Amino acid sequence: MSPARSQHTFSYIVEDRGQDFSGTSYPWRIATLPMDLIGFGYAAFVTFGSIWTYKRRGGIPSLIAGLFLGVLAGYGAYRVSNDKRDVKLSLFTAFFLATMMGVRFKRSKKVMPAGLVAGLSLMMILRLVLLML
């Protein structure tokens, strides 16, 4: 990894027996992920969910809306990957999906797929708000 990494990366802890710049020895170090893997996973879930629903039920408008929102979520994840405070597009997409699928879930009381997508969208909203802090 190059020393000129972006400061806007996601971190996880890996085991390492190295030293930091001051010479202090630590049993772990923080490795960084240069992209928003959770956001890209959410976008893939929305996109493939719309394709799966189209194959099951054949609704063209749902396919178009799902693909459009999946692409928007993917582009939003790309923007978050470049700057973790640039969450507007991802937040809008997750809010829109949480609202629409939440209404469908309330009306139908079916957890799959409306409740699942609404719940995941609410978790994405929480995550994105925490990223802004």
Q: Identify the burial level of 68 via C-beta atoms within 10 angstroms of its C-beta, where 0-12 means exposed, 13-18 middle and 19 or more buried.
A: middle
28-33 and 10-15 as β-strands: parallel, antiparallel, unpaired?
antiparallel
Q: Give the separation between CA 92 and CA 72, rounded to whole angstroms.
A: 9
pTM of the model: 0.74
Q: What is the pLDDT of residues 24-71, one digit of tens each?
A: 655 554 445 678 899 999 999 999 999 999 999 888 999 999 999 999
Q: What is the pLDDT of residues 8-26, one digit of tens each?
A: 555 555 555 555 555 565 5
Q: What is the pLDDT of residues 72-118, one digit of tens each?
A: 999 999 999 988 888 999 999 999 999 999 999 999 988 888 899 99
Tokens 């629903």, located at residue? 53
